[in-house]
């Protein structure tokens, strides 16, 4: 049975005329085994969350990157669709398009990626690159050829 934890620093905070907002304070356990934490302040239990967003990164209680990668892929797809007119425009140099694409896809957080997550990132990246060279999947052009046309390296190389 797990021990109930009472947050004793609250008495120290009161001595310094500081207040902890119990309604806004939340806890999260990051572990391979899921379970509840029983942490309370002045007898009031704190809410426990399964994920936490901090500085644009999503931390989950199981410590995996799945949720964060899915969110970043969705955001990259959204930006890619909004930039489609620029990426398809014939008068914009391919070097400019490559810089634009790299600014979207260079990862901000690194970690171990499963094959499934790598595939999602590559699919999203290639969708954007194909737009830049005005090619579709129906054109049956290899990823390497499209990357050579744009002049960019795979995002997964940056992660590795």
CA distance 37 to 6: 11
Q: Given this model, what pLDDT does residue 145 score?
A: 92
Q: Given this model, what pLDDT does residue 1 score?
A: 45
Q: Given this model, what pLDDT does residue 111 score?
A: 59
CA atoms within 13 A on the CB side of 147: 14
The structure's pTM equals 0.54
In 3-state terms, what secondary structure has residue 64?
A: coil
Could you tell me where the DSSP H helices lie in 5-154?
A: 9-15, 66-82, 84-88, 94-105, 115-132, 143-150
Q: Given this model, what pLDDT does residue 132 score?
A: 87
- One digit per residue, the tens of pLDDT, for the chain of length 160 reads 455 555 566 677 777 787 777 777 777 777 777 777 777 777 777 888 877 777 767 777 777 777 777 777 788 788 888 888 888 888 989 888 888 887 777 755 555 677 887 888 888 888 888 988 988 889 989 988 998 888 888 877 776 6
CA distance 44 to 67: 30
Q: Given this model, what pLDDT does residue 20 score?
A: 77
Cα diameter, the chain: 71
According to DSSP, the β-strands at 44-45 and 26-27 are unpaired
């Amino acid at each position: 049975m797990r021990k109930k934890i009472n947050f004793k620093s609250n008495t120290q905070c009161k001595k310094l005329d500081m207040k902890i907002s119990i309604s806004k304070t939340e806890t999260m356990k990051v572990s391979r085994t899921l379970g509840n934490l029983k942490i309370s302040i002045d007898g009031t239990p704190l809410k426990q969350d399964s994920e936490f967003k901090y500085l644009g990164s999503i931390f989950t209680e199981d410590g995996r990157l799945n949720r964060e990668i899915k969110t970043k892929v969705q955001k990259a797809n959204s930006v890619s669709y909004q930039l489609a007119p620029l990426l398809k425009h014939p008068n914009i140099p391919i070097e400019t398009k490559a810089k634009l694409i790299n600014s979207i896809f260079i990862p901000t957080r690194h970690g171990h990626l499963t094959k499934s997550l790598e595939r999602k990132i590559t699919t999203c990246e290639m969708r954007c690159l194909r737009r830049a060279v005005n090619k579709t999947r129906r054109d049956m052009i290899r990823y390497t050829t499209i990357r050579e046309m744009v002049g960019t390296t795979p995002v997964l190389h940056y992660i590795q």
